[in-house]
Amino acid sequence: MESLKVELYEEIKKYIFRYLDSEVEFILKVGNYILESGGKRLRPILVLAFAKALGKENTENLYPLAVALEYIHTASLLHDDVVDGADTRRGKASANRVFGNETVVLTGDYMYANALYLFSIYGDIDMIRNVSDTVKKMAEGQLLELKRIGDVDLSEEDYFKILMGKTAVLFGSCCYVGTAFATDKKSLRESAYNYGVKIGLAFQLIDDLLDYTADEKKLGKPTCNDLREGKITYPLLSIMNDLTNEEREFIKKVIRDLTPSKEDIEKVKLIVEEKRGTEKTLEKAKELVMEAIKELEKFPNNKYSKDLEKLAKYIVERDF
Amino acid sequence: MESLKVELYEEIKKYIFRYLDSEVEFILKVGNYILESGGKRLRPILVLAFAKALGKENTENLYPLAVALEYIHTASLLHDDVVDGADTRRGKASANRVFGNETVVLTGDYMYANALYLFSIYGDIDMIRNVSDTVKKMAEGQLLELKRIGDVDLSEEDYFKILMGKTAVLFGSCCYVGTAFATDKKSLRESAYNYGVKIGLAFQLIDDLLDYTADEKKLGKPTCNDLREGKITYPLLSIMNDLTNEEREFIKKVIRDLTPSKEDIEKVKLIVEEKRGTEKTLEKAKELVMEAIKELEKFPNNKYSKDLEKLAKYIVERDF
């Protein structure tokens, strides 16, 4: 995992700003602002890792595609900030606070379009089908999350659709594109996509778990943020059928409360722990990681495929 | 022109809602809301007209592409409403007022992505290159317009970049796609694109002219709206070099005034008329229409190409 991160991060770093070109200076300003705020560049790293796992060493024409997928991520962060009315992102003032909602919406549009444009130059139509489908699902997932706030009857199906849109489908597309760059084999492309989707879901499940269990100081924000915002996540969702009527009514009240008290939050946490919601979430994430690793069986056994296996395992071994 | 509108409008009507599919009901709601508010469907009509001008009668697979270009238009209207904070659109409450900014931003994202997805199914990579480049330029143009508000030093180059983004490049793509569906010939595709861009520019110039000259009652809104919003358009831009220092300073004051008085507005109107800003705008539009018609010379001489010629001429013969 570490070797993958260090080696490919350095490789991608040089290219990350290169394909963001516009004659309109504000687009460069906003684009650079959000790209400079960093992040782990996990998406382009996944793209490169899959191509290399399939023995593709000459990746000159893959960089713009890897970068394009980071631009899609960036565009979704920009629109997300507008949608959430966020004040900060990665410890900096959010782009919407610095540049205004209007500028941020339009720069996001530009970055989405630029990403697809890069695919039309360096990629192929099969990749574009996969990636544009992913952008559709990302918008659907975010919208669904927004609409389900305060909804205590959220179904498991809708919950997973939200996770798909938040992280999983874009991870899937990254793996798909890296593989499609290296091989025509449909089954390999699909396995790569499935690997990405599954680790994305596991990643998000652990994020949702950490929101319940993490050390507030380590997390850098109060726990149970989702709950405070009226969002039901897996730790709670997984025990909804095990609740007494009284517990269910209480949780309904907390979920709909715009400013729940510290005591109420602690009480929900306790219920989740007692009914094993946290264990269930970890089990589900582990299950997905095992499925993801199974998808790698079709790939050659080398340094990169091993690193991809480690990456999947690392997700459920994070500190929580 | 009329025959084109009636015949192809009827043809496209059946398909306009067909390719907007989502499992998320809110996307359908918002999408249908804005699609139902109508419009002339000029963009899909242009797509069909070019394919038919080239003798392509079986257009079953062209409908989803024609509709996709209307979706791109719709997505840009949705984001535009958020950017402008608009209250109404086509006489109905704007989507952002009915559904909220968040929902509208995400539905716009979905519609953009869905359009490119439709192109990946029914189109080809050359079309996608053209269309994604158009979406980039649309975002750039809108952003530029936003940033140039109150800027009395707006260059002609930036003004036309704004017009490109507002209308012209999408008109261009519509003509390009219809042609690309019918022929591989690059020169025809490019001529079609140029025709679309040029009539789009002329259309927008006349819009900007009408804002100065129209009968307020007929226009259904007060004239000189652009001026009131601090936007310099061609009638004024074309005479900026002919102004005395005093006139220039006065116009600067009005452009920067957030609530200019009726007297000041009338005075600017008078200057524009005296210096022939309105004639210059009409001349420029006519010039573009003549250039657009010239691009049609390479196309077969038939009912559809003749209708496209009439359509171009109609733009500068509108009632103003």
Nearest residue in chain A measured CA to CA from B158 = A24
Report CA torsion sign: B302, B305, B308, B309.
negative
Closest to B142 (Cβ–Cβ): which among A106, A114, A124? A106
Inter-residue contact A219 to A320 (CB < 8 Å): no
Based on the fold, state whether residues B180 and B315 are members of the same structural domain: yes
Is the residue at A138 inside a domain? no
N-to-C CA span, chain A: 18
Inter-residue contact B62 to B56 (CB < 8 Å): yes
Q: Considering only CB atoms, which chain A residues are within 8 Å of B26?
A: 143, 147
Q: Considering only CB atoms, which chain B residues are within 8 Å of A27?
A: 139-140, 143
User: Which has more pLDDT, A17 or B238?
Assistant: B238
Based on the fold, state whether residues A161 and A283 are members of the same structural domain: yes
Lowest mean pLDDT among A1-5, B115-119, B241-245: A1-5
Is the residue at A132 inside a domain? no
Check residue B103 and give left, alpha or beta (phi > 0: left; psi -120 to 50: alpha): alpha
B114 touches chain A (CB under 8 A): yes
Q: Kindly report the nearest CA distance between residue A132 and chain B, in angstroms.
A: 5
H or E segment and range at residue A93: strand A92-93
Interchain pair B112, A113: CB under 8 A: yes
Q: Considering only CB atoms, which chain A residues are within 8 Å of B132?
A: 113-114, 116-117, 119-120
- Residue A221 confidence (pLDDT) above 80: no
Based on the fold, state whether residues B239 and B158 are members of the same structural domain: yes
Nearest residue in chain A measured CA to CA from B23 = A140
The mean of the pLDDT values for chain A is 92
pLDDT in tens, B208-229: 999 998 777 666 667 888 999 9
Interchain pair B110, A142: CB under 8 A: no
List Cα–Cα distances, A320 to A168, A212, A214, A279, B217, in angstroms.
21, 10, 6, 12, 67
Based on the fold, state whether residues A158 and A57 are members of the same structural domain: no
Based on the fold, state whether residues B35 and B159 are members of the same structural domain: no
CATH number at residue A219: 1.10.600.10
How does DSSP assign B123-164, residue by residue? S-HHHHHHHHHHHHHHHHHHHHHHHTTT-TT--HHHHHHHHI
With a CB-CB cutoff of 8 Å, which residues 74-93 of chain A face chain B? 79, 82-84
Interchain pair B107, A139: CB under 8 A: yes
Instruction: Give pTM, 2 decimals.
Output: 0.94
ipTM for this model: 0.94
Is the residue at A130 inside a domain? no
Closest to B128 (Cβ–Cβ): which among A27, A84, A120? A120
Q: Kindly report the nearest CA distance between residue A50 and chain B, in angstroms.
A: 23
Based on the fold, state whether residues A178 and A104 are members of the same structural domain: no
pLDDT in tens, B164-222: 999 999 999 999 999 999 999 999 999 999 999 999 999 999 999 999 987 776 666 67
Out of B93, B123, B153, a domain closes at B123
Is the residue at A137 inside a domain? no
Average pLDDT score over residue span B223-242: 93
Is the residue at B178 inside a domain? yes
Which residues have a Cβ under 8 Å from the Cβ of B266 and sit 6 or more positions away? none
Interchain pair B129, A112: CB under 8 A: no
Mutation test of the interface with chain A: which of B25, B77, B106, B112, choosing the one with the most A Cβ atoms within 10 A?
Answer: B106
pLDDT in tens, A169-182: 999 999 999 999 99
Average pLDDT score over residue span B61-84: 94
A170 touches chain B (CB under 8 A): no
Based on the fold, state whether residues A170 and A62 are members of the same structural domain: no
B117 touches chain A (CB under 8 A): yes
H or E segment and range at residue A188: helix A186-213
B27 touches chain A (CB under 8 A): yes
pLDDT in tens, A42-79: 999 999 999 999 999 888 999 999 999 999 999 999 99
Nearest residue in chain A measured CA to CA from B129 = A120
Mutation test of the interface with chain A: which of B24, B29, B133, B176, choosing the one with the most A Cβ atoms within 10 A?
Answer: B24
A21 touches chain B (CB under 8 A): no
Interchain pair B113, A139: CB under 8 A: yes
Report CA torsion sign: B159, B65, B85, A81.
negative
- Residue A282 confidence (pLDDT) above 60: yes
Lowest mean pLDDT among A49-58, A214-223, A289-298, B232-241: A214-223
Cα(A287)–Cα(A281) distance, rounded to whole angstroms? 10
Nearest residue in chain B measured CA to CA from A126 = B120
Q: Considering only CB atoms, which chain B residues are within 8 Å of A101?
A: 82-83, 101
Interchain pair B24, A128: CB under 8 A: no
Q: Considering only CB atoms, which chain B residues are within 8 Å of A180?
A: none
Interchain pair A117, B129: CB under 8 A: yes
Based on the fold, state whether residues A107 and A159 are members of the same structural domain: no
Based on the fold, state whether residues B190 and B287 are members of the same structural domain: yes
Q: How is residue B248 written in tokens?
A: 């220039």
Q: Kindly report the nearest CA distance between residue B318 and chain A, in angstroms.
A: 32
Q: How is residue A260 written in tokens?
A: 């729940």
Interchain pair A136, B110: CB under 8 A: yes
Is the residue at A129 inside a domain? no
User: Which has more pLDDT, A287 or A14?
Assistant: A287
Residue B278 structural domain = 145-320
Based on the fold, state whether residues A117 and A154 are members of the same structural domain: no
Kindly calculate the radius of gyration of chain B based on its CA atoms and give it in whole angstroms. 20
In chain B, the number of structural domains is 2
Interchain pair A132, B117: CB under 8 A: yes
Q: What is residue A178's three-state secondary structure?
A: helix
Q: Considering only CB atoms, which chain B residues are within 8 Å of A146?
A: 102-103, 106
Is the residue at B212 inside a domain? yes
Based on the fold, state whether residues A117 and A169 are members of the same structural domain: no
Average pLDDT score over residue span A216-239: 86
- Residue B50 confidence (pLDDT) above 80: yes
Interchain pair A117, B136: CB under 8 A: yes
Based on the fold, state whether residues A186 and A259 are members of the same structural domain: yes
B143 touches chain A (CB under 8 A): yes
Q: Which of B63, B87, B65, B60 is nearest to B15 (CA)?
A: B63
Residue A93 forms beta bridges with which residues?
A: A88
Out of A72, A92, A123, a domain closes at A123
Nearest residue in chain A measured CA to CA from B162 = A24
Beta-sheet strands, E only, within chain B: 88-89, 92-93
A147 touches chain B (CB under 8 A): yes
Is the residue at A101 inside a domain? yes
Out of A93, A123, A153, a domain closes at A123
With a CB-CB cutoff of 8 Å, which residues 260-319 of chain A face chain B? none
